[in-house]
Amino acid sequence: MSETIVCKFGGTSLATREKVDHVKRIINDDGKREYIVVSAPGSYKKDHDPVIYPKVTKLLKDLAGMERRLTDAAAQLLDAIAQRYENIYPGSKKTVASDLRNRFTSEIKDHEAYWANLLAAGEYWQGFLLAEDISAQFIDPTKFIKVSGSLRNARVLPVTYDLLLALSKKYPYKQKVIPGFYGATEEGLIGLLNEGGSDRTGSEVAVGVRAKIYENFSDYSVLAADPALVPGAKPIREMTQKELRDLAYSGFKILQQEAILPLQGTPITLHIRSTDAYPEEGTRVVEDRVSDPQKPIIGIAYKPGFCAFSIEESGVNERIGLLHEMLDVFARREIPVEFPPCGIDDISVILEQDQIAAKVSEIKQELADTVIPPNTERRKKDVEFTDNLGIVVMAGKGIARDHHLEALILSTLAENKIEIIAESKGVKRRCLIYVIPQSQGRTAVNALYNQFIEN
């Protein structure tokens, strides 16, 4: 493994000329920062100006939804996008505008391919112009990030690592700028990674070039709880990859779960840092760490907006294949399930409620048909639907070794009159998950934070 550092800068970090100048100082502060992965310009707000200027990616999505003709509305939007780059990189507007017009009016027939090609322009021009600005080598991700599957939610192929390793040998010492968020299929079509795609690009590049550190610069520091719920929440200075994944599962505002998957099982240190607070150290995410037995819990995540479908029926625990049949009701609708809490004669399915929209009644009926014997008169009414739930996740390496912890957590929640709808912990007790009424989320998180992190 080399001493190489891969850096990723998010859209807000590169939203204005002043911010780009700050990023340049960060890049030049350490000669080992060899690979720079960038997002499209993000949203920003000028001092004493109530207007929030939107992300370039949002503007491109608006453009992609228009008819492919240069109407006045389309021309205005194209000009606004090109002007964002002109404000950051003076002299670039004409070139950017020409490319955007070509992408917008292209005759690509496949809608996914057209969408991906247009949206990729946001990262492409950020990377290309930043590379010129710092005299670095621009790296076209379509040559090195190979993907397959849906062009709007593509999967990175293993051959990517071989191509990136070859890249590191081709330009061994020169700084390199790589646009995030997209790659290309073997047929040459641009494919977008999912939300947080630039973070994923950074992870893939770090693994491919065998970097020592992947620095992810963002708007946030990693805190032990959401500061919107717990003002003044403490920063986390070191955590494991598994701890980060456990917290990212339920709404931690740092990285998408998928973004850190490539790093798992590698010795690469993920270093999450705040761009604005640099050179503050931030949080190091490592493969393993020494935990404090007095502080088994490292962080508390909370996410609202869940619901549950529940069935109580004698003998459901003895039915072979029943859980598979129930989950298949959701799989056929492409609805992801969080987890299925089970009792002796009852079983529930927890999922995000914005996934089900107006399908509640039909799902209840199908679950009833699946579980309740057909010779009974009881049907849909025996499937209970509970909405507006929240999930609390408590993560920490020390949880698995503290066998008194769960009792203390339950006691803390009971003292604060928090109703527990369901819970899950897994055999390895890597983290503890509690489903509660959404209305009690803030109270629950603050009570748990004060008991296990603040004290």
- Per residue in 189-222, pLDDT (tens digit) is 999 998 678 999 999 999 999 999 999 998 777 8
**Is pLDDT above 60 for 380?**
no
Q: What is the pLDDT of residues 233-257, one digit of tens each?
A: 999 999 998 898 888 766 566 677 7
Burial class of 116 by CB neighbour count within 10 A (0 to 12, 13 to 18, 19+): buried
Joined tokens for residue 214: 């992947």
User: Average pLDDT of 44-63?
Assistant: 91
Q: Which residues contact 237 (CB under 8 A, 6 or more apart)?
A: 281, 283, 284
Q: What are phi and psi of 134, to 5 degrees?
A: -110, 10
Residue 118 has pLDDT above 80, yes or no: yes
Query: What is the torsional sign of CA 278, 259, 160, 99?
Result: negative
pLDDT class of 450 with cuts at 50, 70, 90: very high
Q: Mean pLDDT for the chain? A: 92
- Mean pLDDT, residues 14-19: 97
Residue 138, number of CB atoms within 10 A of its CB:
15
CB distance 57 to 11 below 8 Å: yes
**297, pLDDT greater than 70:** yes
Percent of the chain with pLDDT over 70: 96
- Per-residue model confidence (pLDDT) at position 393: 94
Q: Which residue has the tokens 């590169």?
A: 14
Same fold: 5-219 with 299-454: no
182-184/44-45 β-pairing:
unpaired
Measured CA to CA, the distance from residue 171 to residue 178 in angstroms comes to: 13
Q: What are the residue ranges spanned by the domains of the chain?
A: 5-219, 299-454
Predicted local distance difference test score (pLDDT) of residue 57: 97
Condensed to tens digits (0 to 9), the pLDDT of residues 344-354 reads 888 899 999 99
Burial class (CB in 10 A: 0-12, 13-18, 19+), 21: exposed
**pLDDT confidence bin for 114, thresholds 50/70/90:** very high
What average pLDDT score do residues 37-58 get? 91
pLDDT category of residue 106 using cuts at 50, 70 and 90: very high
What pLDDT, on a 0 to 100 scale, did the predictor assign at position 276?
A: 93
In the prediction, which pLDDT does 171 show? 85
What is the CATH superfamily name and number for domain 299-454?
A: VC0802-like (3.30.2130.10)
pLDDT tops 60 at residue 378? no
The pLDDT, as a whole number, for residue 253 is 63
Confidence at 375, pLDDT banded by 50, 70, 90 = low
CA 216 to chain centre: 13
pLDDT band, very low/low/confident/very high, at 420 (cuts 50, 70, 90): very high
- The stretch 119-127 carries a mean pLDDT of 99
Q: 96 vs 291, which has greater pLDDT?
A: 96
Question: How many other CB atoms are there within 10 angstroms of residue 69's CB atom?
Answer: 10
24 pLDDT more than 60: yes
Taken as a whole, the chain contains a residue count of 455
Q: What is the pLDDT at residue 86?
A: 98
Q: Which CATH number fits domain 5-219: 3.40.640.10, 3.40.1160.10, 3.30.70.100, 3.30.420.40?
A: 3.40.1160.10
Choose between 17 and 379: higher pLDDT.
17
Question: Rounded to whole angstroms, what are the CA distances from 203 to 10, 35, 211, 257, 318?
Answer: 14, 11, 10, 12, 44
Q: Which of 36, 175, 14, 180 lies closest to 89 in space, CA to CA?
A: 14
Average pLDDT over residues 352-362: 89
Give Cα separations from 186 to 73, 123, 145, 156, 160 (angstroms): 35, 20, 10, 11, 11
Instruction: Please give the full DSSP string across 280-341, using - where no structure is assigned.
Output: S--EEEES--PPPTT----EEEEEEEEEEEEEE-TTGGG-TTHHHHHHHHHHTTT----B--
Tell me the pTM: 0.85
Give me the mean pLDDT over the 333-338 stretch.
Answer: 90
The whole-angstrom separation of Cα 221 and Cα 394 is: 18
Mean pLDDT of 411-422: 97
Q: Which residue has the tokens 């911010």?
A: 19
Mean pLDDT over 44-54 rounds to: 86
Residue 141 in tokens: 């991700």
Residues 38-63 have a mean pLDDT of 92
What CA–CA distance (Å, rounded) separates 287 from 217? 20
Task: Say if residues 216 and 269 touch (Cβ distance below 8 Å).
Answer: no
Q: Is the pLDDT of residue 72 over 90?
A: yes
